[in-house]
Amino acid sequence: MTDANAQPLYDTFARADLRFERGEGVWLTTENGERYLDFAAGIAVNSLGYSHPHLVETLKTQAEKLWHLSNIYEIPGQKRLGQRLVDNTFADKVFFTNSGAEALECAIKTARRYHYVNGQPERFHIITFEGAFHGRTLATIAAGGQEKYLEGFGPKVSGFDQVPFGDEKALKAAIGPQTAAILIEPIQGEGGVRPVPDEDLRRLRKICDENGLLLILDEVQSGVGRTGKFFAYEWSGITPDIMAVAKGIGGGFPLGACLATAEAAKGMTAGVHGTTYGGNPLAMAVGNAVLDVILADGFFEHVQQVALFMKQGLASISDRYPDVIAEVRGRGLLMGIKSVVPNTALVQALRDEHLLTVGAGDNVIRLLPPLVVTEEEAREALSRIEAAAERLSVSARQKSA
Ligand SMILES: *Cc1c(COP(=O)(O)O)cnc(C)c1O
């Protein structure tokens, strides 16, 4: 430990020099008492903001009873949370995990097993899309297909065929006798807040049906109220066969789930898949508490209203500062600003205004506030975005002068 820069953690994260100590609602406070408006929300995780009284109370109560139990026993809360997900989605069956990547692993295995038990074990290929992000395990980096995440980690897990985003011809050409499923995010998050048009999702459903393929949706980022419906697929009127969920469903507690129809999950029989921590009593208690709030009357309408307010405000700022903001896109509170200046500069300028956002591909920054954000807080965020745009615009003009 003689190196002055040595520190004990892997150097895998380029961390901002910010130390937060506590949070309340949409606000984070640093050790020095500085307050930040958080429109990143742990990357769409803190769906109910910080210190939500119902979540805190639920976690405390459960902590005094049981934390962990093996899945060799019945686990308190698991059937209830599973049933609520089944009652409110397309799904008949649920498998709980601790993260998004694990939910995707379960989804991929479920699709492969489906064809295996149908007597077609050769059908294990899954078609994915350029710009996708499905996690950082060996299978999910293969599914995401991004060279920067695959490089140096040995042979790419086989069975993932990638096609350009929105290219139906290429998609159809990629379908063969080995194809098991199509995997897609209804809105690419990391890829730069790129929504799949509803019409395209409907066509994907049709292509799956015509070719005996399973449709797997990755709603790890777009789900659990983020777009103003429980899940983003609802906007299109179609349903998937399998869906990966995580992030917002735990409200900050590590929790994910793989949802499937009974038919799609028919290969997932006793012993073929498992998890130690997935579905533990603490996670189940918190997940149920998140649903208490999200599924209450009027919650999705609230998300839609604040989102509309934000969208109009952002459109107006983008009109006035076209040299900073090129485009505003997304759905609900999964919002993207395509930046003209480097997106890292925009994230930094917003951070200087004490507004937290997060970058994405395609030179986009994401705005992902807690879903409980009020219109007043949204107005505050807009005024900070405006201030940052004004500063960046002035310096852009000075540079070109
Ligand atoms: C974050 C994310 C994942 C991975 O989730 P982890 O919990 O980090 O494993 C997968 N898919 C999408 C769309 C995501 O946004």
Share of the chain residues as helix, strand and coil, in percent rounded to the nearest 5: 40, 20, 40
Cα(248)–Cα(100) distance, rounded to whole angstroms? 10
Tokens of 389: 């745009």
Mean local confidence (pLDDT), 173-185: 98
pLDDT at residue 164 above 80?
Answer: yes
Question: What single-letter amino acid sits at 192?
Answer: G
Q: In this structure, are residues 283 and 96 in contact, taking their beta carbons and an 8 Å threshold?
A: yes
| Position with higher pLDDT, 397 vs 250 | 250
220 appears as a binding residue in the annotation: yes
136 annotated as belonging to a binding site for a ligand:
yes
**Chain-centre distance for alpha carbon 122:** 31
State yes or no: is 247 an active-site residue. yes
Question: What's the pLDDT at 4?
Answer: 65
Query: Chain-wide mean pLDDT for the chain?
Result: 97
Beta bridge partners of 106: none
Check pocket membership of 161 for ligand 1, CB cut-off 6 A: no
Write out 329-379 in H/E/C secondary structure. EEECCEEEEEECCCHHHHHHHHHHCCEECEEECCCEEEECCCCCCCHHHHH
Distance 394 CA to ligand 1 centre (A): 37
Residue 133 is labelled as binding a ligand: yes
Tokens, residue 173: 């050409």
* Identified catalytic residue from 93, 109, 229, 247: 247
Q: How far is the CA of 330 from the centre of ligand 1 (A)?
A: 17
Q: In this predicted structure, what is the pLDDT of residue 135?
A: 98
Find the angle CA(32)-CA(33)-CA(36) to the nearest 5 degrees: 110
pLDDT computed for residue 321 by the predictor: 97
pTM: 0.97
List, for residues 321-367, the tens digit of each pLDDT value. 999 999 999 999 999 999 999 999 999 999 999 999 999 999 999 99
- Angle, alpha carbons 92-95-99 (nearest 5°): 135
Residue 323 is a catalytic residue: no
221 C-alpha to center of ligand 1: Å? 7
Confidence of residue 372 (pLDDT cuts 50, 70, 90): very high
Q: Does pLDDT of 1 surpass 60? A: no
303-314 pLDDT tens trace: 999 999 999 999
Query: Residue 277 contacts by C-beta under 8 Å, 6 or more apart in sequence?
Result: 68, 98, 283
Name the class of domain 20-51+298-400. Answer: alpha beta
More confident residue, 6 or 174: 174
221 is in an annotated binding site: yes
Q: How far is the CA of 3 from the centre of ligand 1 (A)?
A: 34
With a 6 Å cutoff on the Cβ, whether 100 touches ligand 1 is yes
Judge if the beta carbon of residue 194 lies within 6 A of ligand 1: no
At 399 the pLDDT is 78
Answer whether residue 391 shows pLDDT above 90. Answer: yes
The reply to whether ligand 1 has any atom less than 6 angstroms from the CB of 377 is: no
How many CA atoms, within 13 angstroms, populate the side-chain half-sphere of residue 158?
A: 4
CA 328 to chain centre: 19
* Ligand 1 closest atom vs CA 135: 4
Q: Is 221 in the pocket of ligand 1 (CB under 6 A)?
A: yes
Domain with CATH 3.90.1150.10 in the chain: 20-51+298-400
CA–CA–CA angle 98, 100, 103 (5° rounding): 80
- Does residue 253's CB lie within 6 angstroms of at least one atom of ligand 1? no
**Ligand 1 nearest atom to the CA of residue 101, by list position:** 9
Q: Looking at residue 6, what is its pLDDT?
A: 85
For position 63, what pLDDT does the model report?
98
Cβ(129) – ligand 1 distance below 6 Å? no
Alpha carbons 310 and 10: distance in angstroms, whole number = 37
Q: Residue 2: what pLDDT?
A: 58
pLDDT at 394: 85
Cβ–Cβ < 8 Å for 365, 359: yes
* 396 pLDDT more than 80: no
Domain with CATH 3.40.640.10 in the chain: 54-294
pLDDT tens digits, residue range 72-90? Answer: 999 999 999 999 999 999 9
What percentage of the chain has pLDDT greater than the value 90?
97
Beta-sheet pairing, 242-245 with 214-218: parallel
Does 54-294 carry CATH code 3.40.640.10? Answer: yes
Which of the residues 95, 109, 165, 218 is marked catalytic? 218
Closest of 317, 334, 356 to residue 326, by C-alpha:
317
Give the whole-angstrom CA distance, residue 159 versus residue 112.
10
Summarised one tens digit per residue, pLDDT across range 212-238 is 999 999 999 999 999 999 999 999 999
pLDDT range class, residue 395, cuts 50, 70, 90: confident
Q: Which atom of ligand 1 is nearest to the CA of 190?
A: 15
Ligand 1, atom 10, lies closest to the CA of: 134
Cβ of 133 less than 6 Å from ligand 1: yes
pLDDT in tens, 12-65: 999 999 999 999 999 999 999 999 999 999 999 999 999 999 999 999 999 999
Quick one: angle between helices 375-400 and 343-352, nearest 10? 120
